[in-house]
Amino acid sequence: MLLLLSSLGWFALVLASLAGTVFTCWLTLALARATGGGPEASSAGPIAIALIVSLGFPIALAFWRHQGDPRRAMTTLAWLPAVWNACGLLLASQLIPNVMGTALRSHGAWVAVEQLGDTHTGTRVLSALGHNTADWIDPPPEEAPVEPSGEAVEPLTLADGLEAITVPFSSEGNAILVDVEVSGPSATLTVPYLFDTGASFTTINTKTAREIGITVPENAPTLKFNTASGPREGQMVYLPRIKLRNVEIKGLLVSVCDGCVNERSVGLLGLNVMREFIVNIDFPNHIQLIPRPRTERPNRAYDINPTVELEVERPEVWLGRVRWIVQIQNRGSVPIHDVIPEVRFSDGQRLRGEAVPEIAPGATGESLVEGRATTKDHDTELGYVLSLVEAYW
């Protein structure tokens, strides 16, 4: 019995040494990768360093201590690597926790990525292990809740050259009509539009689109959207420019909707135009459009979202974390730039992906989304929604 227990204990030590060696080798690889040139560095250097640190030193120490007695040296090697690597990891976690945390978050899954690819289960498990270990060694700072400041909101100031637009209510009923300048590839027209607070998107009829040079592709995305008169459906196209008085808006998604036309207007001004203004209604006198402060490069995610198709291959959760590749297919007619997807889970948490510099029409870009998820591992009924939070034309 004693011999059996002794054998089992020796076997357990061997397993512990093996596990500690593998873990230390992996961690040393990540550290060497992080401090030795990043993703472009050669694989040979980090691997050699990892093997020397995790295995080479214990072997050399065991044979130096038991010179001329290989049997005792081999017995020592049953426990020495476990102790050596455990002490090394403990020391490193106390002396350089931030370096270890950064290395594990950035390069923990490097080996698996190069050999297996981003979406392989092995990569996802190794990435989750690296991030969880990093969070234990170097806990990320907790975000403090945002408290209301209690300060008065400053009045809105208009940008130079912009004025509030006052549009009177129509004398015929309660319609709000405004002249809008629409520009396409070949012409610019000034046409009457109906200001529709119920329309999700601005519309254009086939005749006006043709006159300004907009061609509607047969495979243009089709979208059902809401209007004050009920739901409508139309093909979505890119409108280069629209102008209300002195306010110019570049790059909009509009719906080709002949059913949105009447004898007084050629289309509807929807939410993707209204979101550029603060709207004051003085019924029954007029409506006032106050231009919001403009940025040099406005975020067009609201307009671009209907023109893309988002998909995740095998949405698995491992060790409480996700490592997903979100595929973004551009179904529009113009390139989109600096595209950032977001995964919004049913419990409210959100994870953003890496920015994709450019996606040409018809092409597909890929964005890596990594982060902690509270959804249970291996849950086949993951509740999540994919959308864009940033995108530019």
pLDDT the model gives residue 389 = 96
Per-residue pLDDT of the chain (393 residues; tens, 9 = 90+): 555 545 565 566 566 666 666 766 666 666 666 665 555 445 566 667 767 777 778 778 877 777 778 777 777 777 777 777 778 777 777 777 777 777 777 766 666 676 777 778 878 887 887 788 788 778 877 655 545 445 444 454 555 566 788 888 776 666 788 899 999 999 999 999 988 878 889 999 999 999 999 988 888 888 887 777 778 888 999 999 999 988 899 989 999 988 888 888 888 998 899 888 888 888 878 888 888 887 778 899 999 999 999 999 888 888 888 889 999 999 998 999 999 999 998 878 899 999 999 999 999 999 999 888 865 544 445 689 999 999 999
Check residue 207 and give its pLDDT: 93
Longest dimension (CA), the chain: 108
Domains along the sequence of the chain with CATH: 2-137 (no CATH), 165-294 (2.40.70.10), 302-392 (2.60.40.1230)
**pLDDT for res 79:** 72
- Predicted local confidence at residue 356, as pLDDT: 97
Radius of gyration of the chain (CA): 31
Closest residue by Cα to residue 304 from 274, 351, 337: 337
257, burial (CB in 10 Å: exposed 0-12, middle 13-18, buried 19+): buried
Structure tokens at 307: 């023109």
pLDDT at residue 47, rounded to an integer: 66
CA 151 vs CA 121, 157, 278: distances in Å:
50, 18, 21
**What is the C-alpha to C-alpha distance for residues 63 and 52, in angstroms, rounded to an integer?**
15
Bridge partners (DSSP) listed for residue 241: 183, 250
DSSP label at residue 109 = T
pLDDT value, residue 340? 97
pLDDT for position 8: 60
308-312 sheet: strands from edge to edge: 308-312, 321-330, 364-372
Q: Please, what is the Cα angle at 141 between 138 and 142, to 5 degrees?
A: 135
* Element spanning 235, H or E: strand 230-244
At 159 the pLDDT is 54
